[in-house]
Amino acid sequence: RSMVRETRISADTLIYPMFVQDGENIREEIPSMPGQYRWSLDRVDELLQQVTDSGVKSVLLFGIPAEKDEISSAWQPDGIVQRAVHHIKAAYPQLYVITDVCMCEYTSHGHCGILCGHDVDNDKTLEVLAKTALSHVQAGADMVAPSDMMDGRVARIRQVLDENGYVNTPIMSYSVKYASAFYGPFRDAAGSAPAFGDRKSYQMDPHNAREALLEAELDVQEGADILMVKPGMAYLDVLRSLKEKFHQPVALYSVSGEYAMIQAAAAAGYVDREAVICESAVCMYRAGADLLITYFAMELAQYIREGRIG
């Protein structure tokens, strides 16, 4: 069986998403994501130690600022993500740090861009996103991951990074991001649920699969180094079609709602928790994921080490 196994999994390809929050002495469990916490920087070493001990080599950072406003201050050099990056790269230089670049955690209205009336102004938003990405890289981020879904943002971020000398910093684009109910728990975690309306003018319709190829193709033309599909479990057909068409590595984000469902079903005794975590991860890799972003990353690394999957 192990000789003819088609899918091999390595902890090198796991990415752990984590939440850092402005403030002190915070280690707050996210109610809809039991087992996941928001951390202030004075406590975050507890988590980072676990991450490095687990064998996971990469984290994806989300910031929760002390205050939100209309236009986002996500680009400020002393912002929560920038300080977190600085801290991590100083204390754990071997950890590969990716930052989520978006505005929804920073805006009072919860939308992923600058508003014009009740609509997001795509082009004005690009400037803030590029400035934010640059500030993350200046703080030491190894890679940036724009998740806003504005058109043209990969090209603009690439241009600004290049102009500032960061020609070697890769961009992992949330190329194919559906307008999904599976993000619910994340929005609790980040306080980023839109105050009005929804994200359907910039996130994709779950009915569409060919459109995903178009979105990914644009990102490739704009210079994306890694293409991401999100959510995971319900979108494996889309992942597979990207894998077949493009030569860039493809990442899959198994999102907060997927994590929450497994945790809840396991807590109720309805499923075998470890078996379901392992099987779903294996299937995501089998469908084509080169990289897997998952809240179960640390546990999966352990299961791989113990030979339970791999």
Least Cα distance to 80 among 23, 33, 122 occurs for: 23
Interaction of residue 19 with ligand PBG, rule CB under 6 A: no
Contacts to ligand PBG from residues 242-271, by CB under 6 A: 255-256
Q: How far is the CB of 210 from ligand PBG (least distance, A)?
A: 22
175/229 Cα distance (integer angstroms):
6
221/238 Cα distance (integer angstroms):
19
Cβ-based nearer residue to ligand PBG, 91 or 291: 291
Q: In whole angstroms, how far apart are CA 37 and each of 41, 111, 178?
A: 12, 23, 25
Contacts to ligand PBG from residues 187-206, by CB under 6 A: 187
Interaction of residue 104 with ligand PBG, rule CB under 6 A: yes
Interaction of residue 100 with ligand PBG, rule CB under 6 A: yes
32/189 Cα distance (integer angstroms):
8
Cβ-based nearer residue to ligand PBG, 102 or 204: 102
Q: Which helix (H) or strand (E) holds 101?
A: strand 96-101
Q: In whole angstroms, how far apart are CA 71 and each of 76, 120, 194, 267?
A: 12, 11, 14, 40
Residues known to be catalytic: 177, 230
Q: Which two tokens stand for residue 190?
A: 């980040």
- When binding is defined by CB under 6 A, the residue of 112, 160, 238, 287 that contacts ligand PBG is 112
Q: How far is the CB of 35 from ligand PBG (least distance, A)?
A: 13
Contacts to ligand PBG from residues 169-188, by CB under 6 A: 183, 186-187
Site string for ligand PBG, 129-158 (x = CB under 6 A): ------------------x-----------
Q: How far is the CB of 148 from ligand PBG (least distance, A)?
A: 6
Each residue of 117-151: b (16+ CB within 10 Å) or e? eeebebeebbebbbbbbbbbbebbbbbbbbbbbbe
239/7 Cα distance (integer angstroms):
15
Residues contacting ligand PBG: total by CB under 6 A:
10
Q: How far is the CB of 69 from ligand PBG (least distance, A)?
A: 17
Please report, as ranges, the residues that interact with ligand PBG according to CB under 6 A.
100, 102, 104, 112, 147, 183, 186-187, 255-256
